[in-house]
A and B are shown apart, each in its own frame.
Chain A
Amino acid sequence: MAVLNEEQEMLRDMAREWTVNESPVTEFRKVRASGEPEAFNRDAYATMAQMGWAGVIIPEEHGGSDFGFLSAGLVVEELGKTLTASPLVMNTVAASAIVLGGSDEQKARWLPRLASGEAIATLAVDEGPSHDPAKIETSVSDGKLSGTKAFVHEAHGADLFVVAAKDGLYLVEKGDGVALTTRKLTDQRSHADVTFDGAAAEKLANGGDNLLDDVLDRARVLTAAEMLGMAQQVFDDTLDYLKQRVQFNQVLASFQALQHRMADLFADLAQMRSAVEAGLQAVDAGFGVARAATIAKAEANRVMHTMANEGIQLHGGIGMTDEYDVGFYLKRARVLEQSFGSSSWLKDRFSKLSGY
């Protein structure tokens, strides 16, 4: 666990208390049951914003607390533990694009509203089902943006899209020229293909040539933080279960074969936590971000993948039931695993970054 300052500890404790008491997995079940494509509870998100969570990476002058990504990650990790459905991750990532690349006017216009929860933003980059930011066809002429973005997370609740076009990132407001087609995935959260047809677009002109990569790295570390919370929770639940389930007149936890499995997962989880925290810290330090974010997401993918499978396997039959929560983690895990870099994409990027 990274060394936290007092503010960060308070933030984490507050997030933990709120998610456990106000947003346990039963809240996610309600969201699922509602069948709304938006797939989050607006009141809950308003509360989260009131607690300052939507503005953690936004500068104070624009209504945020400027605590940084490690702090944002602490909150997101807690949300991941209880599968809290909200646009917080995507809103944070989209806000970071404006922080990095927006003009003073764009910042003043959007950041206070994104920090207060009054408006919600998301990021739209990929144009196919696999993450591939090198393959972008969306283009802009005369301030009009056209193209189709695939599987945009939290698209239904978004007032503002940060859209990757061939020549950079643009801000597009929902409305004329923006059409959503819902894509329902296993995680039962908000995803949509978004078609922009000559939608009014404003360029984020200040972020330099690496703006898209910088923003995607922020998406990678925050997604990894959500996965870290999920993995931790699956691990804790599985360990609890093994300690109480009796077969062959003894608790399952007493079987050495299972003890070793849990020991392996424990070690994996330690690696995942180090990688994720280092990714978040690198963003805050502004140094070695690409490499650290790649490692963070790659380790998150690897460990979460195994953790979800082992969680089900070690629960036995009840792990296969909808009544039990562990299946939800599996279904969310794979969606996140395929977002902002699959394992093979990340390994390729890591090799390139390392010069081989």
Chain B
Amino acid sequence: MATQIEPATQTDEDAFRAEVQQFLADNFPAELKGQSNALAGVDGPTNETPAQTKWREAVGARGWGTPTWPKEYGGGGLTKAQAKIIDQEFAKAGAYNPIGGMGVMMFGPTLLEYGNEAQKQEHIPPICRGEIRWCQGYSEPNAGSDLANLQTFAEDKGDHYLVNGQKTWTSGGQWADKCFAIVRTDKSDKHKGISFMLIDMDTPGVEVRPITMISGTSPFCETFFTDVKVPKENLVGEEGQGWTIGKRLLQHERTNISGGGSLARLMGQSLGDIAKKYQPTGADGELADAVLRDKIADFEIRWNSFLLTARRAMEESKAAGGVSEISSVLKKLGTKLSQERSELLIEIRGLQGLGWEGDGFSDGELGAVRAWLFGKATTIYGGSTEIQNNIIAKRVLGMLDHQ
């Protein structure tokens, strides 16, 4: 990334804060207050309201949705301190960051590191403007945890590759414009035969079939490639470098799953406060159910120490320059805790916390049930908890592979 000059004084920060406040006053449509970014996720079709479009375009034009990305590719070119100010001011105004999705969370940072100049010029600006949706073509029916076993083959045809094979569990595949994929270019070497390439989802021969999930939605697909032509300029890095690049992307994914995005939003919503709305309390406002109270406190203490761990790890990895294997620890801890939280919400709400549909349940209650079910996936995707444990044991702790 380009070198950045840290703001030297408090006055600079104050000036920047004022600039952000002014920007919000000028651009943030009041009707969007309190909304979250419906399009950032991978779990819905693209149906923006005019106000949402306006807000996305305003933030995108400044590059403030990707504040620390370099300015020459459409990012904000800002320091971490300034990015934090944007976060704070947006939060104060009840404004969401309209720029998100897999492009921001994992593909962009990876391309900035490994892409060539032309690729960065082509792909990063539309991500910063929130115009293009990316999906991840990694997993295959026989390449899940053993991702390197992937068989989708890209045959060298001179000026292009001809891709054949099947990906699966492609989140948002049915709504995505483009796919970053790892494919096999050499059948003779498991890891060195893998290459990282970018595939347009509307290329002839790409077909998706949505799969329904236990939460009742269909946010992911089987993706089939039949004689799909991919131009050579869509190869990222060298042929055979795909495993290295692909793994780096996974580190970004893990960091996002655990600490960055979704979990942070839950901060501040104490389970105890929720419990008091559903459960009887005693004279001092304490929960009458002592066992449940103990469980909530136990959870909240571990949740707090997780947030502290996440913060410490971020600071340490910043000093060390980028994401690292600590992302495995964070992913494993954060996903387990958020699953526990969903389960505790059910215990707090009783059967009212298990509604599937109907007027008798609030949107919040129904949303929590779907999130509880969907949340079971977080310990499976992005490298399962078991795989994180293997990474920690082998790469961090140097424990030998005995099998």
Report whether A345 and B389 are in contact in the complex, using a CB–CB cutoff of 8 Å. no
A331 touches B214 (CB 8 A): yes
Q: Count A/B pairs, Cβ under 8 Å.
A: 128
CB contact between A344 and one of B145, B292, B381 (< 8 Å): that residue? B292
Within 8 A of B (CB), among A110-169: 128-131, 150-151
What mask results when residues 195 to 212 of chain B are scored 1 for a CB within 8 Å of chain A, else 0?
A: 000000000000000011
B289 near A348: Cβ-Cβ < 8 Å: yes
B contact residues around A343 at 8 Å (CB): 291, 347
Q: Is B23 an interface residue (CB 8 A)?
A: no
Contacts of A309 in B (CB 8 A): 339, 376
Residues on A with C-beta less than 8 A from B34 are none
A4 at the interface (CB under 8 A from B): no
Knowing A130-B279, A348-B290, the reply to whether A181 touches B360 (Cβ < 8 A) is yes
Interface locus among A54-62, A94-102, A211-219, A319-327:
A319-327
Q: Is A193 an interface residue (CB 8 A)?
A: yes
297-356 of chain A: CB within 8 A of chain B: 305, 309, 312-313, 316-317, 319-323, 327, 330-331, 334-335, 338-339, 342-345, 347-348
Task: Give the docked Cα–Cα distance between A319 and B211 (Å).
Answer: 12
Interface bracket on B: 35 or more
CB closest chain-B residue, reference A150: B351
| Given known A322-B212, A323-B212, contact A312–B376 (CB-CB < 8 A) | yes
1/0 per residue A181-192: CB within 8 Å of B?
111111110010
Q: List residues 140-157 of chain B with CB under 8 A from any CB of chain A.
A: 142, 144-146, 149
Kindly list chain B residues whose C-beta atoms are within 8 Å of the C-beta of A185: 351, 354-356
A155: shortest Cβ distance to chain B, in Å? 13
Instruction: Give the distance to chain A from B227, nearest Cβ to Cβ, in Å.
Output: 26
Is B291 a contact partner of A320 (Cβ separation < 8 A)? no
> Does the CB pair A257–B389 fall under 8 Å?
yes
B214 touches A321 (CB 8 A): yes
Is B188 part of the binding interface, using a Cβ–Cβ cutoff of 8 Å? no
Let me know if B354 and A334 touch, CB within 8 A: yes
Q: Which residues from chain B contact A327 at a C-beta distance below 8 Å?
A: 214, 373
Interface hub of A183, A256, A305, A323 (most chain B Cβ within 10 A): A183
Of the candidate stretches A198-206, A226-234, A246-254, A281-289, the one touching chain B is A246-254
- Are A186 and B290 touching (Cβ within 8 A)? no
Partner of B360 from the list A183, A246, A249, A305 (CB cut-off 8 Å) is A183
Give the distance in Å from the alpha carbon of A247 to the alpha carbon of B139 in the complex: 12
Kindly provide the distance from the CB of A262 to the nearest chain B CB, expressed in whole angstroms: 13
Expressed in whole angstroms, the Cα–Cα distance for A309 and B378 within the complex equals 12
Specify which chain B residues have a CB less than 8 angstroms from the CB of A248 in the assembled complex: 145-146, 149
Q: Which residues of A contact B289 (CB under 8 A)?
A: 344-345, 348
- Are B145 and A316 interface neighbours, CB within 8 A? yes
Residue pair A254, B403 in contact (C-beta under 8 Å): yes
CA–CA, A54 and B356, complex, Å = 29
Contact B353 A129 (CB under 8 A): yes
Give A321 to B211 CA distance when docked, in angstroms. Answer: 7
A118: shortest Cβ distance to chain B, in Å?
30
B19 interface hit (Cβ, 8 Å):
no
Contact with A along B350-390 (1 / 0, CB 8 A): 11111111101000000001000100110111001110011
How many angstroms from the CA of A188 to the CA of B339 in the assembled complex? 22
- B355 and A184: CB pair below 8 A? yes
User: How far, in whole Å, are A255 and B354 apart by their CA atoms in the complex?
Assistant: 35
Residue of B at shortest CB range from A308? B376
In the assembled complex, the CB of B160 is this many whole angstroms from the nearest CB of chain A, namely 31
Q: A316 contacts which of B144, B295, B343, B373 (Cβ < 8 Å)?
A: B144
Q: Pick the 7 closest A-B CB pairs, nearest first.
A: A327-B214, A129-B350, A130-B350, A344-B291, A129-B352, A247-B146, A322-B212
Q: Which residues of A contact B (CB under 8 A)?
A: 128-131, 150-151, 181-188, 191, 193, 246-249, 254-258, 305, 309, 312-313, 316-317, 319-323, 327, 330-331, 334-335, 338-339, 342-345, 347-348
With A129-B352, A313-B384, A344-B295 already in contact, 14 other A-B pairs whose C-beta atoms are closer than 8 Å: A128-B350, A129-B350, A150-B351, A183-B355, A184-B358, A185-B354, A186-B354, A186-B355, A248-B145, A248-B149, A255-B403, A309-B339, A312-B214, A313-B385
